[in-house]
Structure formats: C-alpha cells, structure tokens
Amino acid sequence: MASSALAIAYQQPRGSKDPWGGDMRHRQDDLEGGTDLNDAKAAWASYGETLTIKSGAGWSAVVDAHEDGRAIVIQGTGNVPGVETFDGGHACCIGPETQSDGDWLWGDPLATGWQWVTPGSIRSWAERWQSSIAFAVGEKPPDDPDPEPAPPPDSTPYSKADLDRARQDGDAAGYQRGLVDGEVRTGDAAVGAWLDWLRAPAPGPADVWDGGSWSELATLLGATRQDADPCDPTAPARWARGGVLAPASDAYHAMTTPAVWGAPSWRELAWT
C-alpha cells in the first residue's frame, strides 16, 4: 500500500493526490494480513485512477513501461535493492526517472527517501518472487501538447570583424542607455525635491532667519539690533519651505526681469 501511494503521487505529479500507505490500505477491503497488487488496484480505483496489473509479462514489459514514463509497483523477495536489508516478500515503486549512469529511481517504503539503483538488481529481486515478474503500472503520461520548437541551427559564419562591430554597437548602445538612465535619475531627484518643498509648511512670522525664535540670545534679552525684529520672540520656530525651486525660479526671473544682452537673465536663464 505504501508503494502504491508513491506510484499514485507520480500519477498526479501536481500534488492533487498524495496519500500515505495507510490511506491506501483503507481505500480497499482487504484489512487482514498483507496486501497484493489487486488490493493496490482497488485503492487506486477509489481515487478514480487506473492501475493496470501486468504480472506475467516479463522483464521486457517492465522496461517498456519505464520508458513510457509510467509509475510502476513491483513485487520481489530476497534482499531488497538499495540501502535496506529486508529479505522477505515485499513491494516497491519504480519512478519514471533514469540517472545519467542508467540507474532507475527506486522507492522502497522501508527507506527514508528515494534511491538510485541498477535495473539489474531490481530484475534479480523481482524474478526471485516470480520469474515472469509481478508488477502493475500507472497510465502513460500525455505528450506535451505544445512542445517548445527547437531553435534552428546557427550556421552564420561570424568573422572577427563581425564580432568586433557587434561589440562596438553594444558599447554605443550601453553608452546611450547610460545617458537615459542618468536623465531618469536626475528627473527622479527633481520630483523628490519638489515633493519635499510642497510638503513643507509655508513661512510664518516666526520663520525669519535671525529674527524671533531664530534670533540670538542677546536679541531675546532686549539688546539693540540694527533692524527691528519683525517676529514675536515667543513664537515657536520651525523649518519652513524656502524659495521656489529651480528651474521654476529661473523661469520666473527670466519672465519678470528685463532682458539685457549678455546678462545672466538673458543668456543663462532665458535661453538655457
């Protein structure tokens, strides 16, 4: 039942069915003693899945099912392949994957995880139980309905001059991109400065530098100042917004100041 649980999880690789062996045990009627492939088939059917018993078809049928990408529940006896040493009648699950060295993915419920074992060791173990192999298989997975087309082979004979020209084009494109990025960063900074300016409170009577709450202690104590203090010395001081930010201040100055040829208001402000 634990091996059939592993196999049905492969049957539904997206995780829609991921039972334990105990779940499978109670999905069929044989609750006395051990279980067999017919019991596993009944448990699969309770999930709406088909487990096809292929016992007697021989080892070549196991190889064909594995090449089809089917999950396989297989029975055997003697020392089980892999890291465990159980040598009684047993069932395991063969996963569809094959390692680069030819080993098959092996699910032994007695082990703590999946293993890679040789197909030959599985065959010897299974044939000790039944010479024509006792096993069952899940459904063949569907073909990819929309496989990615293979890119056409690149047969263009690139020369060193072609590569150098491409590198130069890339450098030029990167330089232009750097200019654009710089403009974006400058624009972002300008937007941030204007937002800070708009959020700051407008200047009040107590926000005159060196006057009122900003004045020196001597002024607060009544010392004579050259200019009269326009602020109440007891008014709270706070940081207020300053003058309008550039370039708006420059534009305003250019529009309201008579233009004189060569003067900053003409050459640098109006035209820039």
Q: What is the DSSP string of 178-224?
A: HHHHHHHHHHHHHHHHHHHHHHSPPP-GGGSTTSGGGS-HHHHTT--
What residue type is assigned to position 226 of the chain?
A: Q
CB neighbour list of residue 100: distance below 8 Å, 6 or more residues apart: none
Tens of pLDDT along the chain (272 residues) come to 999 988 888 876 555 677 888 888 888 888 888 889 999 999 989 888 899 999 999 999 999 999 999 999 999 999 999 999 898 999 999 998 999 999 999 999 999 889 999 999 999 999 999 999 999 999 888 776 566 777 766 666 667 787 788 777 777 766 666 666 666 667 777 777 777 777 777 766 555 555 555 555 444 455 444 455 555 666 655 566 667 777 777 667 767 776 666 665 454 555 54
- pTM listed for this prediction: 0.52
> What is the bridge-based pairing of β-strands 90-98 and 72-76?
antiparallel
Full set of structural domains in the chain with CATH = 2-137 (3.90.70.30)
> Are residues 43 and 25 in contact, defined by beta-carbon separation less than 8 angstroms?
yes
Rounded distance between C-alpha atoms, residue 111 and residue 122, angstroms: 15
Neighbours of 81 (CB within 10 A): 22
CA 46 to chain CA centroid, Å, is 36
Bin 215: left if φ > 0, else alpha if -120 < ψ < 50, else beta: beta
The full DSSP string for the chain is -HHHHHHHHHHSTTTT----HHHHHTTSS--SS---HHHHHHHHHHTT---EE-TTS-HHHHHHHHHTT--EEEEE-SSPSSS----SSEEEEEEEEE-TTSPEEEE-TTSSS-EEE-HHHHHHHHHHH-TT--EEE-PPPPPPSSPPPPPPP------HHHHHHHHHHHHHHHHHHHHHHHHHHHHHHHHHHHHHHHHSPPP-GGGSTTSGGGS-HHHHTT---SS---S-TTSPP-----SPPTTHHHHHHHHHS---TTSHIIIIII--
Residue 147 dihedral angles phi and psi, to the nearest 5°: -65, 150
Q: Count how many residues are written for the chain.
A: 272
Distance CA 56, CA 121 (A): 19
